[in-house]
Structure 1
Amino acid sequence: MSPLFPALRTADRKEALRFGERSLTYAGLAGAAGALAARIAGAGRVAVWATPSLETAVGVVAALLAGVPAVPLNPKTGERELAHILTDSAPTAVLAAPGDVLPPALEALTRIDVVPEAGAGALPVEPHDAEPHDAESPALIVYTSGTTGPPKGAVLPRRAVSGTLDALAEVWAWTPDDVLVHGLPLFHVHGLILGILGPLRRGGSVRHLGRFSVEGVARELSTGATMLFGVPTMYHRIAEVLDTDRELAKALAGARLLVSGSAALPVHDHRRIAAATGRAVIERYGMTETLMNTSVRVDGEPRPGTVGVPLPGVELRLADESDGIGEIQVRGPNLFSGYLNRPDATAAAFTEDGWFRTGDMASLDADGYVRIVGRKATDLIKSGGYKIGAGEIENALLDHPGVREAAVTGEPDADLGERIVAWVVPADPQAPPTAEELAAHVAAQLSPHKRPRTVRFLETLPRNDMGKIMKRALGNG
């Protein structure tokens, strides 16, 4: 297989990575990651204490150069879940920044401090420079959220990483001239594979904010960055201040590409950003096990409420379709190899003819654009004989001026089978809209059978580190 990072072979002085005031050129990254790769070659598997830092990026690149599977660890993971991940993946060492304080669960592992400056003047040591690794060999083992039991380790082969990044390069016209800015966590596919490994594979640059802020976005997009990756909560914060922050609006208007993922971006935020900047946000759709499946093309029609069309090489179909909605199933080179130590779960995740069951429900526009309505387990509501997607009701609620945030779930109902429940964070907590007003609003925008039968007001919605609403934490949803 060809090298994942061809630009490391040239080892020039172009900036590759920047985290705050700290940065590495390609020459510096080649030396630091190459020296570390020589140390960990043959280590079996290595865990990476995945803080938003230069050390995490260097550690993961070193593991990929050495052909050693890396297991990114979320520093916020609880004791029980961390113990499960370590037992399941059995790493021999943990890569961390010298100042990181690691939890007791990691004390049994050999600790290797990542020093980005080490060996910065030298090229990677053979054979790591050539990366002579099989396309099917594991690159990363990324653990899923564990909403239905202990987290499962998705084994991501090198061909899935390179295939997804190359497909995105085609549909986004991603080149070495692009400079990406983002503030996403580095223990997940979005922040690590797309946000760090993506620019490095292209030979471009990435500027990580450390922690997301609208000020950081404006600063970086005003000083040479061309692309922004974010999740809906980030774009929502951007949308809320665009009317008064002219510098931010100008910076976004000058960006080449704005990408949102990991959850659906509400249509009203799409509209606010486009109106203030003249720039549409592009959405894409993926998951840990499949990396990226679809995206709106940079030369295609931006269509709020959709996640675009299948990426080159990815096949997509809707299974068990009724009322225009079915489960998304995919196959292609972007798929994972399986769940680590879980042949039963791996077998259950695929159909008999080899398609991966995503658990996401969607409809297809006439020209192939995918509209995701939610998760099969939590977002598909069967009420009064209708199959209803929570996502479209949430978008309708968010179009109401009195609603700041909204989530929709289904609850058992003796008459309807399931009743639609809306969980709403009001724009003004002192004067929230009435349940009747919101139900009438949804009925007028969509149809009467899609109106919420129950409305519950909250101060905030529960979200995970990637900004996804945790519906299982909402009552019986």
Structure 2
Amino acid sequence: MLLSSIEPRAVARGDDIPDAIRVGDTTLSRTDIVGAAGALAKRLAGVQRVALLATPSASTVIAVVGSLTAGVTVVPVPPDSGPAEREHILTDSGAQAWLGQAPDDSSLPVVPVRLHARDWHSHPEPPPSTIAFVLYTSGTTGAPKGVLLSHGAIAVGIDALVEAWDWTPNDVLVHGLPLFHVHGLILGLIGALRVGSPMIHTVRPTPHAYAEAAAAGGTLFFGVPTVWSRIAEDPESARALSGARLLVSGSAALPVPVFERLRELTGLAPIERYGMSETLLTLTTRVDGERRPGWVGLPVRGVQTRLRDERGADVPHDGESFGGLEVRGPMFFDGYLNRPDATAESWTEDGWFKTGDVAAIDPGGFHRIVGRESTDLIKSGGFRIGAGEVETALLGFPGVREAAVVGLPDPDLGQRIVAFVIGDGLDETTLIDHVASQLSVHKRPREVRIVESLPRNALGKVQKKLLT
């Protein structure tokens, strides 16, 4: 069973946890979750696919658990999605109803989610091949695609991380991440329910909220780089996390200066990991292993990786050479909904998934993600340059708080390196010279633009396609 820690038999034998899930000011016991989810599962009989406006709320928790119990596929919809995006998700997914809250402009029926309803009847366990979620990608190259994730794939993926991080029921997970993506929904919520560890969702991932959760017993903290950067800038809140067991960062590269500042303030070196909606989490540093700034570690159990150059040849694992990252493993998706063409294009003929990311692997198998092949691999003057290493050099300069590097069209170089930088008292020429002194001269930005903000999506990832 995917949610093995809250199966009815556990409740029947009195194995309750009074504060199993806390979202904001609402606390749900294990009994609350099983009873309310059981009642919802009963009402979902005969339904195949439902849409969920995935707000950070107790209602979302019950909606997800009730649907999974009934074997009904959930289509999480971002609460801030616009009408066009929402209509595409609903039409493409074929969702038959909304669970709980629904947008005012929707014509779909609504199945209410009642936190205080109770039903203790057992439900047949869905087969591992049952699709649990259709997660829609960010749609940077066209309309968002629906990623099909099964009960079995999710269970295998979570169990591999449990092993790598020594995640146990004695942990208290803390995060404030969105509940419509892999990081917050599958790893955060479903992971906690599978492991049996209590979870505190802070609604918003602010430094103060994380510090309060630490005081309430939090031991395992999830965040994206933006969250950790803000915590690193708040020494009092950061020091409050010094009693935690693990700080985990993902969804984008954690800047090395933030890694080092967190280690200085908390005494903890962050865990970094890598994954995608299509593959779940495939790489991570480990609780008992090396945690190297800027590197995402080793493959989790069952995962294999390889690097390929533009001609399809192997790239050496020397820690410096980089190529397209390809992976295979047991926790992968079942394809894109209604998109057999895109599904086929994502796989090599010999069965490897093409991530679209560029990486380097050292002789010991440690992985470093250079970035997206489409935006972070810059070809300038005959050289192949990873945007990430230029960003790291910039972030090491005093006063630089954030940096994003892109390759913009250039009639002479093919692409010229342009850096968008946020900070105080910065000079463009000084920054260019600083990078040239830290890296090869051909990796220096040809242009630095001092800006007040960078465009980001809901997970804090910089949307580089908007930087022009």
Please give the range of the TM-score, normalised by the shorter of the 2 chains: over 0.9
- The answer for the alignment partner of 2:404 in structure 1 is 407
Looking at structure 1, the residues matched to 371 and 257 of structure 2 have their Cα atoms a distance apart, in angstroms, of 18
Q: How does 1:388-427 map to 2 (within 5 A)?
A: 388-426=385-423
* Alignment pair present for 1:82 and 2:82: no
Deviations 1:300-328 (A, max 9, x none): 11101011111101111111156711111
Residue 378 of structure 1 and its aligned partner are, at CA, apart by: 0.5
Name segments (4+ residues, structure 1) moved above 3 Å.
none
Aligned partners of 2:2 and 2:151 also within 8 Å: no
Q: How does 1:18-97 map to 2 (within 5 A)?
A: 18-96=22-100
Aligned partners of 1:8 and 1:29 also within 8 Å: no
Which of the numbers 350, 366, 370 marks the counterpart of 1:369? 366
Aligned partners of 1:419 and 1:452 also within 8 Å: yes
Give the residue type in structure 2 aligned to 1:85: I
Aligned partners of 1:18 and 1:24 also within 8 Å: yes
Looking at structure 1, the residues matched to 115 and 284 of structure 2 have their Cα atoms a distance apart, in angstroms, of 34
* Alignment pair present for 1:350 and 2:350: no
Looking at structure 2, the residues matched to 264 and 226 of structure 1 have their Cα atoms a distance apart, in angstroms, of 22
Residue 101 of structure 1 and its aligned partner are, at CA, apart by: 5.7
- The two structures, once aligned, show a CA RMSD in angstroms of 1.3
| Percent of pairs with identical residues | 53
Unaligned runs of 5+ in 2: none
Residue 41 of structure 1 and its aligned partner are, at CA, apart by: 2.5
Q: Residue 412 of structure 2: SS of its match in structure 1? A: coil
Which of the numbers 270, 278, 283 marks the counterpart of 1:289? 278
Looking at structure 1, the residues matched to 242 and 70 of structure 2 have their Cα atoms a distance apart, in angstroms, of 41
- The answer for the alignment partner of 1:339 in structure 2 is 336
Q: How does 1:385-464 map to 2 (within 5 A)?
A: 385-426=382-423, 428=424, 431-433=425-427, 435-464=428-457
Q: Residue 7 of structure 2: SS of its match in structure 1? A: helix
Aligned partners of 1:8 and 1:27 also within 8 Å: no
Compare 319-328 and 298-307 and name the one that shifted more: 319-328
Deviations 1:14-68 (A, max 9, x none): 0211012211111111100011011112201011110000111110111111111
- The answer for the alignment partner of 1:205 in structure 2 is 198
Give the residue type in structure 1 aligned to 2:47: A
Aligned partners of 1:41 and 1:67 also within 8 Å: no
- The answer for the alignment partner of 1:324 in structure 2 is 321
- The answer for the alignment partner of 2:229 in structure 1 is 236
Looking at structure 1, the residues matched to 104 and 256 of structure 2 have their Cα atoms a distance apart, in angstroms, of 41
Looking at structure 2, the residues matched to 354 and 42 of structure 1 have their Cα atoms a distance apart, in angstroms, of 35
Deviations 1:416-440 (A, max 9, x none): 22111111112x2xx322x221111
Which of the numbers 176, 183, 190 marks the counterpart of 1:183? 176
Q: Residue 171 of structure 1: SS of its match in structure 2? A: helix
Deviations 1:55-105 (A, max 9, x none): 111101111111111000101111111111111001111112xxx46131x
Unaligned runs of 5+ in 1: none
Aligned partners of 1:8 and 1:26 also within 8 Å: no
Looking at structure 2, the residues matched to 337 and 27 of structure 1 have their Cα atoms a distance apart, in angstroms, of 33
Give the residue type in structure 1 aligned to 2:264: A
Which of the numbers 7, 13, 16 marks the counterpart of 1:13? 16
Q: Residue 339 of structure 1: SS of its match in structure 2? A: coil
Compare 5-14 and 440-449 and name the one that shifted more: 5-14
TM-score, normalised to structure 2, is: 0.95
Give the residue type in structure 2 aligned to 1:333: P
Aligned partners of 2:232 and 2:261 also within 8 Å: yes
Aligned partners of 1:260 and 1:284 also within 8 Å: yes
Which of the numbers 279, 284, 299 marks the counterpart of 1:310? 299
- The answer for the alignment partner of 1:465 in structure 2 is 458
Looking at structure 1, the residues matched to 285 and 376 of structure 2 have their Cα atoms a distance apart, in angstroms, of 23
